[in-house]
Structure 1
Amino acid sequence: MDPRATTMAMLRAALEQELPAAVALRRRIHAQPELSGAEWRTAEEVTAAIGAGETSVVAETGRLIRIGRQEGPCVAVRAELDALPVIECTGSDDASTNGLMHACGHDVHLAATAALARAAARVDLPVPLLVILQPREEKPPSGAREIVATKILTEHDVRAVVGAHVQPLLSRRTVAATEGAVNASTDELEILITGRGGHGGYPHLTRDPVLALAQVIVALQQVVSRRVDPLHAAVLSIGAVRAGSAANVIPDEAHAHGTLRLLDVADRARVHEEITTIVDRVAAGFGCRGEVRIQDGEPALVNDALLAAGTHPRLAELGFELTSSLRSCGADDFSHYGDVARILMMFVGVDQQPGLAEPAILHHATFRPTDDAVGDVALALLAGYVAALDASIIG
């Protein structure tokens, strides 16, 4: 029998016994969410629930827990500690009341990871499992980037990092484990148009930055429609505009903030250049000065082809239906782990708690997957771990 199949069978059996406690953990975490950078209690709660392995603190509130041998190559799984500043409206008996919410499923990810870690501690692992309880996924500075920068993953000889994210766009028992880019790079734009203000009744004596900014915003849309290959996913959205303080006064300045999302790594530098050129030249056409500051965010999340392919038969064996239709212009700092290891992010379909708004939407005040999601995410992580045992990955 394939040793990996034996490992999966043992882990699966142990995992089934851990799920009731994991569901209870999920509910406790859901009821007491914490913001990015303040996940002290959450980290302690999950670490205590795992109750095994060698633990170290990383990125201030994060934890690394190594299960199995303390030397040699290992496979890592990642779960996110932080919640969002969203007021929960689910009506669940474990609903948060502190003005924060696990509206992105991190409570599910944490509980599933704890279940897998406890199962792993009960079997003789062929390759150690490193649990990454990561802070600050939702808000910069990125917890993943900081963890990678410490070189601690290199010290642990991490060869692969596996993640799984709940996804209400997929039906339950469906998983996307797709090679290539599955999440976009994300950059923030800060645009400043400087003109010459004055009386709204004498516009000929001014250089109107509001009009210039309006034209800049319109012109920027052609970056996606005319400067990016139509087969490459790209999004440029302006989410905030600010100018002036009175109806009859043309201000000196106008500001805009936006986001740029790109799936193709090669498009990023060229699109940045296009944006800078448009802001400068369109503003100049209205007698104004245009400046843009582009703040680099997360890189595109690119799944390793070998790891993705190896996971497919394991997921099928566990009863999941596979799909390759899910790629997203959302972003996840999980992408930073690709700098030091092969990575795989899977999207796991979930059911919405009955009686809540449909369709379910990530980051929404009524998003609450059923408790079945804990077991599904844990099984997906298990499949990823077993796939990573391939000799071409571990070496």
Structure 2
Amino acid sequence: MPVVTSTSSPHGKNRGVSSVEQLLRLVDDELPSAIALRERLHAVPESGFREVRTAELIAAALPAEPRPVAGTGLVSRIGGPRGVLVRAELDGLEIPEETGAPFASTNGHMHACGHDVHSAALVALTRAVHRMRDELPAPFTAVFQPSEERHPSGALALLEEFTEGFDAVVAAHLHPLLAWGSIGVEPGAVNAASDAVEIVLDGVGGHGAYPHLTSDPVLALAQVVVALHTLVGRRVDPTHAAVLTVGKIEAGTSENVIPPRARAWATLRALDADDQATLREAVVSTIEAVARAHGCTATVRFTKSEPPLVNDDSLASLAAALAPAAGLAVAAPWRSCGGDDFAHLHRLGPALMAFVGLRDAPGFRPRPLHHPEFLPPAEAVGAVAWTQAVGYLAGSRR
């Protein structure tokens, strides 16, 4: 349960304290039904832009009929224009679930990143805001976004439909590395610029017993992988965060056949946009040079790109000041090379991504995001809803 204080607002708005108290109490009233909704959402995960059943369940739980947006997304607006946009994600991942939960998915997909919790929490917040609609601290827009995990980006699809700006855009995301009961609301870059990189090497195939008659793209790709993993350490200031990981390799059909083509996929991330640009150029030049040395040709495609996710300084400060009213501690400074297409939504207004701690939460088995056993406890719905409420109230004061 959140702890509601009666101290005066540090920002000089007397209505702020009563808004905090009222909103958090109303959110608490909505949590039982939101927890039940979370279980229903968890059982039917769907991939990006296919979240039909997910959207139906959410729409049925909202206090007023939402309008569709960005394909399978939903928007519920309370109050006038501008105000604060709060976003949650709809999509699951193509991961077979191994949690053993009674509401586990059986369709080969899984909510392994907390999107079921985020969406159920935003439903609770939307219902609470609707109940206090005559005393709103600011207009409120809830957005249930499709396709956060996959390309094309659901956030970019939203930008095509939202022509107006907002005073603030807010999101909350569970994270198992932060302590339970705490939230990370650090100002500045908190998630990295992120590129998905596709690498294709074309050579000359042949018999494995006669490699001198081929241009072996598998050997070239092996050298590419090693070379790429040296780039961050030699092209980026060692005090800056960046990472390059080759996560998938594909080549060949038999052990004694040198194939004509080899492919790989990598993720490239940096907290600084200039570092990301430097690394992009280095990735292309390195791959082309290594391929050429092996008599192969290279094609490099950046198939998905996101900017750094940068928290607005003022919003971060306001959220940190309001967090204790929701019984939430402010985590120590924390940033990550994770990526989120919420970064695109800063075009609509000043942005705040708050990370909600899961470490040592009751009943939570320590598992990373995107793990087949990742399962936040029911109490996480409340933690996310209170954090979303803090973000909304911070945005109303900015």
- Give the TM-score, by structure 1 length: 0.91
**Aligned match for 1:364, one of 354, 361, 371:** 371
**Aligned match for 2:231, one of 210, 223, 228:** 223
Shift of residue 354 of structure 1? 6.8
Change in CA separation of 1:371 and 1:6 when aligned onto 2, cut-off 3 Å? same
Shift of residue 324 of structure 1? 3.6
Displaced runs of 4+ in structure 1, greater than 4 A? 351-356
Tell me which residue corresponds to 2:66.
55
Shift of residue 125 of structure 1? 0.2
Name stretches of at least 5 consecutive residues in structure 2 with no aligned partner.
1-7, 9-13
Which runs of structure 2 are paired with 1:1-395 in the superposition (5 Å)? 2-52=14-64, 55-68=66-79, 71-123=80-132, 124-150=135-161, 152=162, 154-155=163-164, 157-350=165-358, 358-390=365-397, 393=398
Name stretches of at least 5 consecutive residues in structure 1 with no aligned partner.
none
User: What SS is found at the alignment partner of 1:389?
Assistant: helix
Q: Which residue identity does 1:189 align to in structure 2?
A: V
Change in CA separation of 1:89 and 1:355 when aligned onto 2, cut-off 3 Å? farther
State the distance in 2 between where 1:367 and 1:144 align. Answer: 24
Preserved contact between residue 223 and residue 271 of structure 1 (Cα < 8 Å): yes
Change in CA separation of 1:250 and 1:351 when aligned onto 2, cut-off 3 Å? closer
Q: Which residue identity does 1:5 align to in structure 2?
A: V
Preserved contact between residue 351 and residue 369 of structure 1 (Cα < 8 Å): no
State the distance in 2 between where 1:36 and 1:58 align. Answer: 14
Q: Which residue identity does 1:163 align to in structure 2?
A: A
Shift of residue 148 of structure 1? 0.9
Shift of residue 351 of structure 1? 5.7
Shift of residue 12 of structure 1? 1.2
Shift of residue 24 of structure 1? 1.5
Q: Deviations over 1:318-357 (max 9, x none)?
A: 221212443222211111101221111111012678777x
- State the number of aligned residues: 384
State the distance in 2 between where 1:79 and 1:250 align. Answer: 47
Q: Which residue identity does 1:113 align to in structure 2?
A: L
Shift of residue 81 of structure 1? 1.1
Q: Deviations over 1:46-88 (max 9, x none)?
A: 1221213x632101111110012xx332101111111122222
